[in-house]
A and B are shown apart, each in its own frame.
Chain A
């Protein structure tokens, strides 16, 4: 279950309770930093919490910043990150969501560059490749500049026969370090069963909700291998098409 708390704030569950799995912890520069998440980090959307305390075990407060970084030795790049509750450290905690666009491995390694006050700490992390595809990308050449869009599947992660909530988050790679959310797209959704050559009825195209997140409904008439095809459009101009393949 992914809790995305844009439009129903009263339902927010304290992040500490959700993100209870400690991913990594370090002591550096007099700070005790631990990274908590719901599950081991993987490509796609990850909700995390950083807990930062000083040597005396007192929570730190103040402004914080986090920059995810992929070091591929010849080059470095970041990935999309969201601070749904702001960048203030509250009671030593800061919550953030990261969309990892690739896994750690031979290609390179991920870390989080954490700034607290005047200190910058590098926290190395491992990002695994999940079984089912969560990230898709497409390059649009129909705009003035060639733009690379990254589409992340948030829902459904546990698809069922029938109607499922569909949530995707869309970002573009403006530079190596700038990955802003894209909010002004139209999306045409077409679920497809490749082995049967048919789709499903009564789907609802995802519409923008907040911060590059789009929500709709996807219907599966049976179990099996499905493709969730997404056609991105901007002001009636087709930017391109991509899909997620899921098995259940």
Chain B
């Protein structure tokens, strides 16, 4: 293994570096307003009308549709994307799955700022702290393609925030948005103000969402599925010089009284604050288009079971994380034929979670443990990407990332806890992570493009996998214990993408294979006894020898002369573990088909979604089979101007036939919402 790494490194130094050393440095383009689509990002969903460029229209036709019609909340938006699914624990804060792999394996960031949820039970994936109204775009990458994002083995999710817009013609712009969902009797309101004056532009927005318990397809109320949240953002851009920008973002998000019907506990509050400061300028020495960024964020999260009846024993489980970091990225050169981009990044993070249990018998003492024992982690990375256009038909891109990480626990109590397992966590664990990829892009004709991707990447264990202490997982009813001595997980990623595009028809496909080594998985330990009342046993995270995933996505769009179009998308993943048994929580085949019909300036969109049975279940994970289902939705969209005011109305009905269904990977036995009438009114001036 080490030999392969050394070889890859040498190939880089001797093979690739001379290629660009001779390349001319070309003048930078109008970079401030450009939104480059980078080839290692599989899907980029543009969310701001103003920002969609031709590039995005070319590649993002499907995503573009969903942006317009399914952007009511972040869960719904992500769920529609090719290769993405949203794992639910309730009606709030879904956890994105990238090709069936959960957030343990991919890198999540907001504008490149690393952030970590503060809940040991993953009630607060980072996506839950973001609202679509504040998003310019979402970068979705898979496998080990995206070396710039960080070290992950299943890809990355990056949320790009909307920026204040400099607009001398319209120095003031504002919009308001109102959404109603009948199934949860939920109201969402948001406002958004943009002001630009001379060298300064700022944007303020606020979102309030509140929902009651929803009704499932059987008409049953799903108890503890309510939620309420506030999200507020302030972004400021200052034009230091004509071509230099200073940009500051603040995001606050307060969720409270959030129910998680699939879990034994709810959330009293989840509070996140993010601060980011960027400086963009045309050049620093040899570096073109550099961005320098510093950031800090923190999350406070409190699990709570005081609203539940029939709780055997009350417990408090607060958790918090804080993360600081920065990066410098830019191009060493960029021209019409080749480009070399780099990024140097650093972050450090701290995570602490505790658990206090209150026995019913008052003679007995309170019980206390640290479930994340003051874990500290630092990572410093260097990424490089090089693109070279060989001729009209061929191009290749290649990249690498080296990252050094340090992880340790900084609590004496936590260290003592670990002595139970004869382990130590205070000694610093250092890992070198490496990531390499090379893509060959063949364009034999303007209507066809084919890409072969080869990539290798590694990740360190998550905080739970490395230092988690009796973390209960309701999905398989086991307590999980981390192992500080875990090795890194490796993924060899192979992928072939094809796109055929004519003026009427677009068909894109991706076929992939992930060949994991040292795949980190919880393994049942018969000699250990569960801590949680009612749990079946203890699993400890181990490096299993291998895991393999195959699958792909197909999406196509067919445009009719009338301006109407059909969209079809299909996603499938097949996964097996080290014993060739099915991997848990793998989604079955899913097909979405819709027809977008334009009549009199309005759009009518009937949709069908079909999901196959999932009979390949993981017995090790206590999984059950999941039945196939059909869903039918109907959406209406109308946009119009009155004077200078823009109105947009979305409405419709989802799950028309009130089907009782669940996704295979959802937690618990909880059904997804039944029939939902919704309406959304947007007003913009």
Contact = CB atoms under 8 A, between A and B. Distances in A.
A228 to B, nearest CB: 15
Given A161-B417, A198-B530, A247 B367 contact: no
Contacts of B421: 201-202
A224 B420 contact: no
A196 interface: yes
Given A198-B529, A198-B531, A202-B421, A224 B367 contact: yes
Contact of B367 (A162, A195, A197, A219): A195
B368 A221 contact: no
Interface stretch (B342-350, B354-362, B399-407, B561-569): B354-362
Output the residue of A199, A225, A248 with the most chain B CB within 10 A.
A225
A225 B364 contact: yes
Contacts of A194: 364
Nearest to B368: A223
Interface string A206-233: 0000000000000111111100000000
B529 A201 contact: yes
A163 interface: yes
Given A161-B416, A225-B359, A201 B527 contact: yes
Q: Name the prevailing secondary structure of the A interface residues.
A: loop
Nearest to B420: A219
A200 interface: yes
Contact of A162 (B313, B417, B527, B533): B417
B413 interface: yes
A197 B534 CA distance: 9
Contacts of B527: 201
B369 interface: yes
A224 B357 contact: yes
A199 B529 contact: yes
A28 B270 CA distance: 73
Nearest to B413: A161
Contacts of B313: 195-196
Nearest to B534: A197
A31 interface: no
Interface size class of B (residues with CB under 8 A): 20 to 34
Contacts, number: 82
Interface in B502-553: 527-531, 533, 538
B416 A224 contact: no
A160 interface: yes
Contacts of A220: 420
Interface string B607-623: 00000000000000000
A222 B533 CA distance: 14
B419 A162 contact: yes
Contacts of B365: 223-225, 247-248
Given A161-B369, A162-B419, A224 B359 contact: yes
Interface in A165-187: none
Nearest to A199: B529
B130 interface: no
Interface in A3-18: none
11 contacts: A162-B415, A193-B367, A196-B533, A200-B420, A200-B529, A201-B529, A222-B357, A222-B369, A222-B531, A223-B366, A224-B359
Given A195-B357, A221-B369, A247-B364, 19 more contacts: A161-B368, A161-B417, A163-B416, A163-B419, A195-B367, A196-B357, A196-B533, A198-B530, A198-B531, A200-B529, A201-B527, A201-B528, A221-B420, A221-B469, A222-B367, A224-B357, A224-B367, A224-B368, A225-B363
Interface of B: 313, 355, 357, 359-361, 363-369, 413, 415-422, 469-470, 527-531, 533, 538
Closest 6 CB pairs of A and B: A162-B416, A224-B367, A195-B359, A222-B369, A163-B419, A162-B419
